[in-house]
Amino acid sequence: MVFDDQGRRKRFIVNLDGSQFLAISGSLDKALKIKQKLITIGVDSRFDMEKVPNYIDSKFLISRVTRNSNSLKLDFTANDLLSFNAVQGINFYQSKFTSGDMSDFKSSLYNTAFSLSVNCTKKIKC
């Protein structure tokens, strides 16, 4: 603990290991209503970067990791009873090391999901 001249405690926030992290994300949605039907279209995106110092096998190195994920989604509600959802996404991952004898790594993942929901309301008894 560190105290100033008036006896107050001072606190210092420090990043002792040198890690750095940056994240940016965004989402955009648009809803359209056509008669009794509702269509929602959306886009989600996220970008992460980090720099982390490590010791692997007693050797100091810095890993730099980059991640990027994007998805496109579609929601369709035909009436009060049924709702359909579809999502298509892609994720990228990359890690690089400062040491020349460590191998870099890259990967990409594509995913698709579908769902159907039955909505139970006061008007519609399930």
Instruction: Find tokens 């790594």 and name the residue.
Output: 105
Q: What are phi and psi of 74, to 5 degrees?
A: -135, 125
pTM surpassing 0.75?
no
Assess contact for 119 and 83: CB atoms under 8 A: yes
- Please list the pLDDT of the chain residue by residue as tens digits (126 residues): 566 777 776 665 555 677 889 999 999 999 999 888 889 999 999 999 999 887 777 777 888 999 999 999 999 988 777 889 999 999 999 998 877 677 788 999 999 999 998 877 777 666
1 in any annotated domain: no
**Residue 6 is assigned to a structural domain of this protein:** no
- 124 falls within a domain: no
Number of structural domains (the chain) is: 1
Question: Residue 52 is part of a domain; what is its CATH number?
Answer: 2.40.128.130
Radius of gyration of the CA atoms of the chain, in A: 24
> What is the residue range of 98's domain?
17-118
